[in-house]
Structure 1
């Protein structure tokens, strides 16, 4: 029995005529409706014709999270007086509740993406509603792009609706072919904003770390809200760990029950949260409660102001979830939870002045996440570089290149980026391509470990992958139940892929004609926001976010069940299976103990905790890692012990053996090295190094340590200074002799000495001046003018030959005793530049500095004479130096 009273109370009902008219006329539309107006529940029922109006259609609603998909389906079924599985059903990874009479099916975006890959025409589907599109999850953006492609090329009758409460409506409208924007101005209840910043500054989030002081403040704000307001309190926190810590800080609230809701929460808890409680409740939630869900009884929201988003650490080749400031759009969504049923209040744990500095929308995952899975989806769709896809944001070129490199390494794409049969098999598995590769290469024997790595495991499982596997088997919690379901799904799919491969080997032609993409077995979907590759709550692996693998790296063997050298064998224990699977998925993260930390094949260093079961093992593989505040190294959050044979086998593509000649520790080092990526396995010195490699090492040494490695006599240094002066003053043809210029022309001036050198000692014997003279302009004849333009010495009035100091190429210096310059009215010049004359006292100390002798004799000399005459009475101090006889002798010598 349809609950018309509940349906008629939903404000979005007024927008239905405009929405249906837009779809009939244009086929696409953008629906903007505030939270609580019924866009998720009423609109699909109306479009499907289940309310007694309009034609009968089959509608698919895509939600970003499993909990939202189930809740929306339950709510719509309740409005129709049914249970899920009748006219309204749902499908999430590993679970489908729907039947042949189902007209509205709510699915996760990952499931829908798999369906579109399998059946691009979406046979039997009339309308697709992309709900909460403002969240910009990678699966959702990809699905939207594929659906637009389908509508443009195969199904012009397919209707598309992009729906959200807060979104870039104009951007989505452009993406969907200038679709009309329909707005529903529902009768939202007023929500009072209470600014509740911490009394003292807290440290900003870093990685997965949140300042405990902020969590303590959130707990105190919750207590304040309970005292000041009526109704249930919904608290937004970034992750499961923070929820647990705040729950611990709240303790027993007495009059209020504390519930925790997130993607890993048991179904019973999720149901309890979405149903009215018998007593007051405090619901601690992640961003799963931002949209699509109505938590009954909530009148107050406490917003920590934090969220989790995926990020790629390019420097370390790791990707993981990281804690960020929530966007303005997310803050509005969260606040709206308090006004769905009655007037409410939101306590924001930051200052009002900070609010305007928050980002407007969440960062699109396509800009910040690991794109390996996306690149494989695009390749299987037939658009390897995604250039033809209708995307709000283009994928970064660097991230796409790294993703293609990773896919090429596992055999998922060919050299041109086109999907291989193996790549299409990996897409059908519905997990990250790295994990899919491990599943296929172990023939399904690694399904348990792959399932464990596909979704964030509880932190209490520890950092030892084998130990976490045993804990999952024992676990009677929601995670354990979901893990077992995923294991069954993966085993079934792995078996089908093996059968498909075997059949393909005997009938390539039939295999080639199969539809690109597709999925089989239980409704799968890619690893999406709820425990998948790039979701807000669960990365590919590891506690509180884990990682989804470096963008790149290489993988080892490409096909078949792992062999006896390093793979899974009958009777292998958990430790070996866990290690092999993780090494196949993350070959560049096999790591060897080295100097107090582990050095990965990728070159990144990682540390394990003091009490870790991994600590001290000669070899491990890192399945998940992050970087603690202030640490230069990564921290292992989930890993497995392996042996060297497994490391060599799984990361075989990184194994290299060859000659290495380089400049190290101040000299040329020649050795034969066997290495696994950055890990040196064996090193042997050798003497018969390739002369060209030696030459390059010597040049590297000169670049690092400078040309001071050569033998520089006083004459050589002066020659370089004179040439630098002429290059600055005259220019061509006088050469630039800076380090950069000399490196650029090293073959012109340092050969053949360099070609004969083998080590540092040989460089030290090279006469730099003799080599530098090769750069003089001999061909033009200008070299002969060197002494004319920049003489090494100059004859002063006394007859002395005095050296010119060219160390300052802007103005050379002539240091000479004052008495030797008597009678000279103008400062001497070189290449037209007046010398800066340092007039020295009889003791050789500067008495005056001038570039204008005439001015000095006229104005400055009197003061110098008065000061020094009494100190040096044996030397001449005439009253008129301009006419005096220059001399380098004392008065006594002059009288003789």
Structure 2
């Protein structure tokens, strides 16, 4: 093996793992950690002949690392060094180092929690923070804690917060190793075309081939962009001897090996790669990197209810990793197809997948592990509570968990498939119906980007995509299908069938089952027609199709593709579901119940017997009559929801409520008269007075005055009449009503002449509260507002008198109001 920088720290790392059971290795790019570290431990006494597992996030890196380590031992893959990944395993009886990809480690832990044949588990490139890496580390830590105290754990990364990981691993030592890189010049080349990065990438390739020596590595977000860039470059303008090599995860292994290998003499290689070339790979001969600054990542999609690949900008850390690919074997150059200002706005690191993806698969794995809540395990970042609760609710709906949260036998079968729980449930149900090939096609379609492009993509009908898949490649492309996505869907469909261990057989012969199969995966997205292209989904949300969709006429649909960005969801993909299939195959989910409800159109309480599927009413019988108790309960709920305005408040009742509210502010033994308090206690004070009533008209007969008075006992009523009177008798002999609309300051509106001779302001509330006097003119217009009548007579009265005497000369305006005769006439009678 080459003398790589990692060799300098391996003695320290060996010593640490001899003395303790966990360590962290921070090794810069080019240090050789991926291929240099595992073989160094093969002869350690504590390993005792057991296996070393290394989790490698990417399939290409896993195969490449295994092949390089095997070659350094003079062997082929499958002898001392092997690998395990989905649909591809190369290990033998004597294999001691096994490189595994994501999901495989989880399956190994679930089948053997103690990892009895394993002595060391290595988590490589842990900084990528994939969901399976976080889950794998959490499960391995518990296995070490509970079952295997001798199991060693090594976390490796080029860029990582070592202190946080060290704390997670119980204070594990951190070893730092320098890398072996050469200087790389960074050139920012902002391009005008952000929608089609392949155009900018192709232009940058031509520039790099003219300006720089050596081979070129181009980072593009996905296979589609790689193909388009390849077509753009193949159209001309490349120097003689230039070869184009695509590099992405689904590429055949021979083509991946050709991309990684050194170019033959006389040729210059241009590697068009996804993020799989970002870490753990050295591509021989690369001196120039061209970075579009984009990557594909899995995020939870509300449209499909599953993780979905989407294109996002890279982080600064990822951009630096890509830049470093140009300096692995010699000085290099990195062309970044964005501006320096755009670079400064990039996030520092990628968001951990556990924080933004769907957690249904994680929740299923934890249930299979026997952990009801994620808090029972140790995490670098714990799963967010709300998405996790949503995930467990879905698993219960799919039959994977029982009511107590424990995994069911069906849930175990779902977990064994390793697919997303929605897809696993659909595949298992489809197998029972001998429809596995169709279910596999549907699963693959949902996992990839839309098969259709151009005008054909406007159709919401998913079965048209299935028909395109079952046609020839050329005819499908002519119908608007993207050939690259078509190939990817067909390939993934075969993988799903292999997971199900179902024979591929012939093509599906009954596409009309598409809606039924999709309803197994999306029981929360079964839609019932409302009209005008609108549907009510079984999960309770409304959704609508674009205008002109034939599916809009279907009584029932399943909508796996829903855009939740608008107020009402837009249905992007759907399939028709027959009512017969719905009732037959979802019988266990149907709920039959008698329902008493408020009919807003008639303004009355009605009863019916309904058959429900979630929010959908499939059958309804209205020949029911609600009992008096049921009606009373619904009426009270309507009043509480719509407000007390539904009740017949007349002037006297309003004043009574205000008087009681006035005394509540002064005395704790008086009931609270606020809207909220009255709504909360409707069953106590109102229920006896609406018994037997059925509709809004009946409510107008409620005796509210009696209902409110009966909230008080006899003593409290006496207190109410004494301390919060309805009227006050003024000096003229008139009984003037009090206005309690402001309970803090009740108002007595009285003509000024009627108060002659009274010295003090009237008081209520047991003498605690002076009323607010609105002293009126003879025309009953407010002339003065006061709560201090004595002060008014002494001063302000004489100013008011001057004004009023001129305007009302026939009325009585004495010089001494305290000695004058009060009157409710123009002048006092003799």
Preserved CA contact (<8 Å) 1:590 1:619: yes
Matched, 1:791 2:746: no
- Number of the residue aligned with 1:506: none
State the partner residue of 1:362. Answer: 351
Q: Deviations over 1:195-214 (max 9, x none)?
A: 77899xxxxxxxxxxxxx74
Secondary structure of 1:802 counterpart: strand
CA contact (8 A) 1:716 1:768 kept: yes
2:384 paired with 1:447: no
Contact 1:30 1:169 in 2 (8 A): yes
Match of 1:180 among 146, 168, 173: 173
**Superposition deviation, residue 354 in structure 1:** 8.2
Shift of 1:241: 6.8
**Conservation of the 8 A alpha-carbon contact between 1:440 and 1:494:** no
Instruction: State the match for 1:393 in structure 2.
Output: 381
Distance (Å, rounded) in 1 between the aligned partners of 2:289 and 2:802: 90
Kept in 2, the 8 Å contact 1:587–1:647? The answer is no
What corresponds to 2:619 in structure 1?
682
Indicate the larger mover: 356-365 or 224-233: 224-233
Q: Which of 720, 740, 747 is the equivalent residue of 2:683?
A: 747
Q: 1:259 to 1:650 in 2, by over 3 A?
A: farther
Is the alpha carbon distance of 1:861 and 1:401 closer, same or farther for their aligned partners in structure 2, counting shifts above 3 Å? same
**In the alignment, which residue of structure 2 is the partner of 1:539?**
none
How far residue 880 of structure 1 moved from its aligned partner, in angstroms, is: 4.3
The alignment yields a C-alpha RMSD, in angstroms, of 3.9
**Which of 539, 564, 587 does residue 652 from structure 1 map onto?**
587
| Structure 1 residue 215 corresponds to structure 2 residue 195 | yes
Unaligned runs of 5+ in 1: 200-212, 496-568
* Structure 1 position 429 matched with structure 2 position 414: no
Equivalent-residue separation in structure 2 for 1:610 and 1:251 (angstroms): 41
The alpha-carbon deviation at position 110 of structure 1 amounts to 0.7
Q: What is the aligned partner in structure 2 of residue 829 from structure 1?
A: 763
Aligned residues of 2:259 and 2:271 also touching (Cα < 8 A): no
| C-alpha separation in 2, matches of 1:385 and 1:647 | 33
Hey, what's the Cα distance between the residues in 2 that align with 1:757 and 1:491? 60
Instruction: Write the distance in 1 (CA, Å) between the matches of 2:55 and 2:69.
Output: 14
Shift of 1:613: 6.9
Q: Secondary structure of 1:148's partner?
A: helix
Q: Structure 1: how far apart are the matches of 2:85 and 2:143?
A: 23
Partner of 1:457: 448
Q: 2:492 is matched with which residue: 483, 486, 489?
A: 483
Q: CA deviation at 1:374?
A: 2.2
1:815 maps to which of 737, 749, 753: 749
Tell which deviates more after alignment, 393-402 or 180-189: 393-402
Deviation at 1:774, TM superposition (A): 0.7
Equivalent residue in structure 1 for 2:36, among 35, 42, 59:
42
Relative to structure 1, the CA distance from residue 253 to residue 886 in structure 2 (aligned partners, 3 Å threshold; closer, same or farther) is: farther
Distance in 1, Cα, partners of 2:763 & 2:226: 80
**What's the CA shift string for 1:810-829, capped at 9, x where partnerless?**
11111112222233333222
Counterpart of 2:711 in structure 1 is 775
Q: Match of 2:809? A: 873
TM-score, normalized by length of structure 1?
0.79
* 1:311 aligns with one of 300, 311, 333: 300
Shift of 1:720: 0.5
Q: Which has the higher contact order (CA 8 A, sep 6+)?
A: 1
Write the distance in 2 (CA, Å) between the matches of 1:733 and 1:30.
Answer: 68
Paired position in structure 2 for 1:118 = 111
Q: How many residues are aligned here?
A: 791
Contact 2:122 / 2:156 at 8 angstroms: preserved in 1? yes
User: Of the candidates 156, 159, 171, which is equivalent to residue 163 of structure 1?
Assistant: 156
> What TM-score results when the alignment is normalised by the length of structure 2?
0.84
| 2:90 corresponding residue in structure 1 | 97
Native 8 Å contact 2:189 2:335 kept in 1:
no
**Would you say 1:582 and 2:573 are equivalent positions?**
no
Cα offset, 1:847, TM superposition: 1.5
Counterpart among 737, 752, 763 of residue 803 in structure 1: 737
**Counterpart in the other structure of 1:847:** 783
Where does residue 363 of structure 2 map in the other structure? 375
Task: Give how far 1:362 is off.
Answer: 1.6
8 Å CA contact 1:312–1:368 kept in 2: the answer is no
Distance 2:202 2:781 in 1: 78
Q: Residue 641 of structure 1 is aligned with which of 561, 576, 597?
A: 576
2-structure distance, mates of 1:472, 1:322? 23
**Cα separation, 1, equivalents of 2:605 and 2:233:** 64
Contact 2:316 2:343 in 1 (8 A): no
Q: CA deviation at 1:786?
A: 1.5
- Secondary structure in structure 2 of the residue aligned to 1:443: helix
Q: Distance in 2 between matches of 1:399 and 1:457?
A: 23
2:697 matches 1:761: yes
In structure 2, the CA distance between the partners of 1:216 and 1:404, relative to structure 1 (3 Å rule), is closer
In the TM superposition, what is the alpha-carbon distance from 1:830 to its structure 2 partner? 1.4
Deviation at 1:55? 9.0
Asked whether the equivalents of residues 798 and 888 of structure 1 are also in contact (C-alpha less than 8 Å), the reply is: yes
Q: Residue 190 of structure 1: CA displacement?
A: 4.2
Aligned CA distance change for structure 1 residues 191 and 571 (closer, same or farther; 3 Å): closer
Higher mean Cα deviation, 604-613 or 704-713? 604-613
Could you say what secondary structure the match of 2:807 adopts?
A: coil
